[in-house]
């Protein structure tokens, strides 16, 4: 089977070139499939398959929120051919045996490449180190995402162990002394009587961890950066030679707390912050202080997300909207050059976490097509997104993983 996209913009050798893009699929049946589908009317963008190093697929343990099958199907629809899965599961992957529970499910049901993290501490409880050495050959890195490692000496030990194993520590930076709020500390929180989450909740932990990373030589990665103070700390640490990378998410780059509404789809951790924070993040993405954009895809059930800002669980979905939001709100407005997208969405995350790119893995976008974000059409079981109802450009036409079309737009939409 062959797809031909006429006069497309193709990312090749570090630049966009305009040419006819031919995408060949592997033939797995005895009789060759020599059909050809020609796409000639739209404005197509052909990119290498994306890599998201921060997703929550909820299985094993919480399959009522998401399964590996549904989560990786959503990833494929969003142009992702590799995802790295967070360890807040049941069982927590804190031993090789627990990790294999997840890997066995993935082998049977994952639509794209799945690369698990191992937990830093047993049960993500922050009391003692997990079995990092036994898990190291099987994981992309170590994290206790969902909660910060509060004990400094324990984090120092984890970094020393990770450095010896050649693995990344990816840190959820949340200082428990400042946590417990509902949304970001600021005008909206004050006006609506909510307990705010100060920026110090994030940057105090970033500051501590950067000091430990410099001391131990650990390969350190800061998860879901949301605060301008964190950006400045990371920028300074990079200048000092600390081995640090950082990520942020589409919602932090395109929303500020003046846009919040009284609905759980605007509640995540860390929270959406001020316009000043958003602009600092955008500058950091443009100047390389922040190395990659992830989704922090964190699905919950409808019941868990319909308690308003006060009572909903934290977390939103993102795999199926990330590219369209970035393209519409940042690239089309001139805030982010299109040429930066391949590095932010695939090259840098793959390089940092050792996830190889397959030469045939691509995603194809009809970027001139506008559509409305409708969570009811999501392949993910999680339907909660702050972008519900937004008009955006960029529909994924095709995603190819390992020679197979893991997503193709339905014929009625083609």
pLDDT tens-digit readout, 299-320: 999 999 999 999 999 999 999 9
Predicted confidence at residue 27, as pLDDT, reads: 63
Band of pLDDT at residue 26, cut at 50, 70 and 90: confident
- Strand order, beta sheet including 292-293: 168-171, 219-222, 244-248, 292-293
| Domains and their CATH numbers in the chain | 2-39 (no CATH), 47-360+369-413 (3.20.20.140)
CA separation for the pair 352, 90 (Å, rounded) = 27
Per residue in 119-177, pLDDT tens? 999 999 999 999 999 999 999 999 999 999 999 999 999 999 999 999 999 999 999 99
Peptide bond into 97 cis (omega under 30): no
Band of pLDDT at residue 30, cut at 50, 70 and 90: low
User: H or E stretch including 155?
Assistant: helix 152-165
Predicted confidence at residue 64, as pLDDT, reads: 98
pTM over 0.85: yes
Q: What angle do CA 301, 383, 276 make, to 5 degrees?
A: 110
Per residue in 325-366, pLDDT tens? 999 999 999 999 999 999 999 999 999 999 999 999 999 999
Predicted confidence at residue 304, as pLDDT, reads: 98
Average pLDDT over residues 75-100: 98
β-bridge mates for residue 371, sequence order: 392
Per residue in 167-200, pLDDT tens? 999 999 999 999 999 999 999 999 999 999 999 9
Residue 95 has pLDDT above 80, yes or no: yes
On the CB side of 338, how many CA atoms lie within 13 Å of its CA?
17
Band of pLDDT at residue 29, cut at 50, 70 and 90: low
Mean pLDDT, the chain, as a whole number? 96
**How far lies 187's CA from each of 34, 160, 195, 258, in Å?**
60, 41, 11, 8
Residue 413 has pLDDT above 80, yes or no: no
Q: Hey, which residues are catalytic here?
A: 296
Predicted confidence at residue 34, as pLDDT, reads: 76
Predicted confidence at residue 381, as pLDDT, reads: 98
User: H or E stretch including 51?
Assistant: strand 50-55
Band of pLDDT at residue 32, cut at 50, 70 and 90: low
Per residue in 186-244, pLDDT tens? 999 999 999 999 999 999 999 999 999 999 999 999 999 999 999 999 999 999 999 99
Residue 28 has pLDDT above 90, yes or no: no
CA separation for the pair 401, 214 (Å, rounded) = 38
User: H or E stretch including 369?
Assistant: strand 362-372
Helix (H, G, I), strand (E, B) or coil at 153: helix
Q: State the Rg of the chain over Cα.
A: 21
Q: Nearest-CA neighbor of 260 among 204, 192, 210, 338?
A: 192
Residue 31 has pLDDT above 80, yes or no: no
Q: Considering only 26-35, 241-250, 256-265, 325-334, which range has the smallest mean pLDDT?
A: 26-35
Q: What is the largest CA-CA distance in the chain?
A: 66
Helix (H, G, I), strand (E, B) or coil at 195: coil
Predicted confidence at residue 12, as pLDDT, reads: 95
DSSP structural state of residue 27: P
């Amino acid at each position: 089977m062959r797809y031909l996209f006429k006069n497309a913009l193709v990312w090749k050798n570090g630049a966009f070139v305009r040419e006819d893009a031919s995408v060949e699929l592997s033939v797995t049946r005895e009789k060759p499939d020599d059909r050809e589908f020609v796409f000639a009317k739209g404005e197509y963008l052909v990119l290498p398959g994306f890599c998201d190093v921060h997703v929550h697929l909820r299985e094993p343990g919480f399959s009522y929120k998401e399964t590996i099958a549904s989560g990786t199907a959503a990833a494929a629809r969003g142009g992702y051919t590799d995802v790295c899965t967070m360890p807040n599961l049941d069982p927590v992957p804190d031993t090789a045996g627990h990790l294999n529970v997840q890997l066995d499910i993935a082998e049977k049901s994952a639509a794209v490449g799945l690369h698990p993290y191992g937990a830093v501490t047993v049960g993500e409880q922050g009391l003692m180190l997990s079995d990092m050495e036994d898990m190291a050959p099987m994981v992309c890195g170590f994290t206790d995402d969902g909660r910060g490692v509060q004990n400094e000496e324990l984090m120092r030990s984890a970094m020393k162990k990770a450095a010896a194993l050649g693995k990344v520590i990816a840190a959820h930076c949340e200082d428990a002394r400042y946590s417990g709020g509902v949304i970001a500390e600021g005008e909206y929180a004050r006006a609506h009587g909510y307990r705010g989450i100060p920026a110090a909740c994030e940057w105090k932990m970033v500051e501590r961890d950067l000091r430990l990373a410099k001391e131990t030589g650990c390969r350190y990665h800061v998860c879901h950066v949301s605060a301008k103070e964190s950006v400045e700390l990371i920028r300074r640490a990079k200048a000092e030679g600390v081995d640090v990378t950082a990520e942020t998410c589409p919602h932090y780059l395109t929303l500020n707390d003046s846009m919040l509404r009284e609905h759980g789809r605007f509640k995540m951790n860390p929270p959406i912050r001020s316009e000043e924070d958003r602009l600092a993040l955008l500058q950091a993405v443009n100047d390389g202080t922040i190395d990659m954009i992830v989704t922090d895809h964190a699905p919950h059930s409808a019941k868990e997300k319909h308690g308003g800002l006060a009572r909903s669980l934290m977390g939103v979905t993102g795999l199926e909207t990330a590219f369209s939001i970035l393209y519409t709100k940042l690239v089309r407005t001139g805030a982010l050059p299109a040429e930066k997208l391949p590095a932010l969405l695939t090259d840098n995350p793959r390089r940092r976490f050792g996830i190889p790119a397959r030469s045939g893995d691509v995603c194809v976008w009809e970027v001139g097509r506008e559509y409305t974000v409708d969570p009811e059409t999501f392949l993910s079981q999680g339907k909660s997104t702050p972008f519900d109802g937004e008009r955006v450009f960029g529909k994924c036409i095709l995603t190819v993983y390992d020679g197979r079309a893991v997503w193709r737009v339905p014929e009625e939409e083609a």
